[in-house]
Amino acid sequence: MLDLKLIRANPEQIQELLNRRNGNYDIQPIVELDRASRELETHRSQLSARGNEIGKLIGKKIGSGSDPQGEEITRLKTEGNEIKAKLSQLEPQEKELKAKIEAFLLELPNLPDESTPIGKSEADNVEIKRWGDEYIPNERNILPHWEIGEKLGILDFKRAVKVAQSRFVNLVGAGAALERALISLMLDTQIAAGYTEVMPPVLVNSNSLQGTSQLPKFAEDSFKCSNDDLWLTPTAEVPLTNLYRDEIIEDTELPIHHCAYTPCFRREAGSAGRDTRGLIRLHQFNKVELVKVVAPETSDAEHQTLVKNAEAILQALKLPYRILELCTGDLGFGATKCYDLEVWLPSAGMYREISSCSNCKDFQARRADIRFKQAGRKGTQYVHTLNGSGLAVGRTMAAILENYQQSDGTIKIPDVLQPYLKRETL
């Protein structure tokens, strides 16, 4: 959530930054509502002060011998009652205005960082790094991962439709083992890098989704349990960040680094017709997520380390990838700055996103009210939150099935996974 005081003080600057995004965001309604709210608050405060003054004056005059039933006291009591009546009307009006302001604020995305490249769409993203070109397969006739997976009997899409619907998959035999091995590798790597593993609930409430900005804007992309205020989590970013919702953290506890494996669930409502085959865009998928809760002055450096933590998995697996710095027009709703890691898929001859590493600064912390108290400093500050995939497991499997295909139709298992799987090929 954006800082209302910042909007109030610099409306033109805030509007200009929002205009850099891919969307039509107008802060004028908030500016007008805020002005009306403050005027109403001032009027209410003045009335309340006059009411208090009248109460004291009546007591003072009666104490000095004035007749409690006399004209002067009666006049003051009448004025006091009129003020009470006006206040009873103003308070709900003020509450309604504040609710409208909050509703508008919840619909506004984070402000792009000044260092974020300006652009209109993903075509304007900036490639900043490539790694592993030497590992790109020379083989030309590489089958798409869903074809080789079905051929090997490790991916079963047809029966998954019977059990659920399209865009689900059964992982069978070595496919299930490979998925587990990847999850273990990812968690072991991040724990060694200093993250604390959490196994959180995968059902989350509406407040949690609102805290990390999936609600209200992206409600249609999530699965809701109709009988409860619970949703299937779209990413472990939601439960991990909301562990600290409505809390004041001691600065000695920062930074907090968490990693978690969870299944994730998304309707993919805005991607009709895209990636209808394979593991790229499923309704249910496994992911290892990285979340950081840090002091503001360290968040830029923490962001760079977060990217390196995600890269470490791709490098360990020797999967070719590149890093894009997202432009303002392609930036996620809650991010102020973001790097996407894209892995090479040879059957498509292109890189595909496998991790998105975002710095949200205080945007999520304001929505979830996560603050910290710094020793020797009055009051509290909002923390900065960061998140990134470390990695999307299904997409990692897809990359392995394609980049490690051999001419005899088998899949060579990356060296780093062989101790987990106790085999060299699939």
Residues involved in catalysis: 266, 281, 353, 356, 395
Tokens of 287: 């992911």
365: enclosing H helix or E strand: helix 363-368
Which two tokens mark 27?
């802060």
Angle at which helices 174-192 and 393-403 cross, to 10°: 110
Kindly report each contact of residues 345-348 with a partner whose C-beta sits within 8 Å and lies 24 or more positions away, as own/partner. Answer: 345/145, 345/398, 345/399, 345/402, 346/136, 346/137, 346/139, 346/142, 346/402, 346/403, 347/142, 347/143, 347/144, 347/145, 347/402, 348/144
Peptide bond into 178 cis (omega under 30): no
* Chain position carrying tokens 């394979």: 278
Distance CA 174, CA 426 (A): 7
**Is 363:149 a contact under the CB 8 Å cutoff?**
no
Interatomic CA distance for residues 22 and 272, integer angstroms: 20
- Identify residue 15 by its one-letter amino acid code: Q
- Dihedral over Cα of 21, 340, 154, 275: its sign: positive
Helices 299-317 + 393-403 axis angle, to 10: 40
